[in-house]
Amino acid sequence: MTTTQTGDDDRRYRPVPVLHPARTWVAITEYGNAASRQPSSSLGLGAAVRVGDAVLRCPPTGMAGEAERPRMHRITVGAVEIVSLYDEAFLFDPQRVWPDAGAGIEAYRNQLEPDGQLGMDCLCFLLRAEGQTVLVDTGLGPESNGQLMDELRAAGIAPEEVDQVVFTHLHGDHTGWNLDRQSGQPLFPRATYLVPKGDWDDQTTKSQPSASFTRDVAPLRLLDRMELIEDGYVLGPSFTAIHTPGHTPGHTSIAVTSNGEQALILGDVFLTPIDVQEPDWSSTFDSDMDVARTTRHAILDRLETSGELVAPAHVRSPGFGRIMRVEGRRVWRPVS
């Protein structure tokens, strides 16, 4: 998913306010190459924010029901430790996420926020096995008061311990903590940054790459810190990249295999549990909706058949679950 769109993507979706885990609202008004993120203190309590032709109200901090989101969570798959890391949260108008859903979204009212908005978290995942430490995605970054670096500290991981940073794709909510904004140097000083080639090629052939790509990703090549990867790339004995296109051209998931157990670090093949039940609903976030739909069906088939753990990037924290069939329909079942 992305809150930054450029070129042909601009007309697809305009972003909406974000709920900070410390009960601070952040209005994202990022569009084209311009980005503006304002904390609620600068907007005023209960401030109105214009998004496209809609006006959304940001509730005051400290309102009832604004409990902090759950934080980092560990789970083990074979000999691999997987840690979910919370960076930020979003709220979206579900009709803008799934423009073809129409009245069908009413069947999922119990999965929306009380005001009818669709909530998603922005999660990254840390993988540790055989002396190797891999970070999957780097969240939104400091401009949104993202929590990734704090989450890593809470997990007992120093930035210099990370051996590889791998991106599921190059949308700005997956690349934000790559570089120190002051020095321009990598925030993970020992890591090789593994970039899906399809997304790199897509961005570098555009007349106007996304602002987040220009800021967060392109400098990695000048710093000689990145490597392009494709389907089947082996990160280590337990980790393999799988091409899962549609959301972006080079979208990549990370397969985890250890001691006969499996997991899939999914990225944005599906965004919410609603997508599991309605895989044919097209998402405005997908660059190629037809390819994304085909990939979504194939991956859901795999996950249901294998029963393996899956870790998507935007379900609610801690973000681990399995795909099961209940009364003839696929459903998402969280695993805590």
* Burial zone of 33 (CB within 10 Å; 0-12 exposed, 13-18 middle, 19+ buried): middle
- C-alpha 172: how far from chain center: 9
Element holding 330 (H helix, E strand)? strand 329-334
Q: Return the closest-CA partner of residue 98 out of 267, 288, 315, 274.
A: 274
pLDDT along the chain (336 residues), means of 10: 44 35 32 30 28 30 38 94 96 96 96 96 97 97 94 96 98 98 97 98 97 98 97 98 98 98 98 98 97 98 98 96 95 93
| CA pair distance 87, 287, nearest whole angstrom | 24
Provide the 8-state DSSP code for 215. I
Q: How far is CA 142 from CA 47, 102, 145, 148, 177, in A?
A: 22, 36, 5, 9, 7
| pLDDT per residue as tens digits for the range 98-110 | 999 999 999 999 9
With 0.85 as the threshold, say if the pTM is over it.
Answer: no
Q: pLDDT digit string (tens) for 204-237?
A: 999 999 999 999 999 999 999 999 999 999 999 9
Domain boundaries, the chain: 7-334
pLDDT of residue 258: 98
Tokens 């990549």 map to which residue? Answer: 252
Tell whether the torsion through CA atoms of 63, 141, 263 and 159 is positive or negative.
negative
Query: Please, what CATH class does the domain formed by 7-334 belong to?
Result: alpha beta
pLDDT at residue 176 in the model: 98
Q: Given this model, what pLDDT does residue 336 score?
A: 76
Tokens of 19: 């709920």
> What is the reported pLDDT for 45?
25
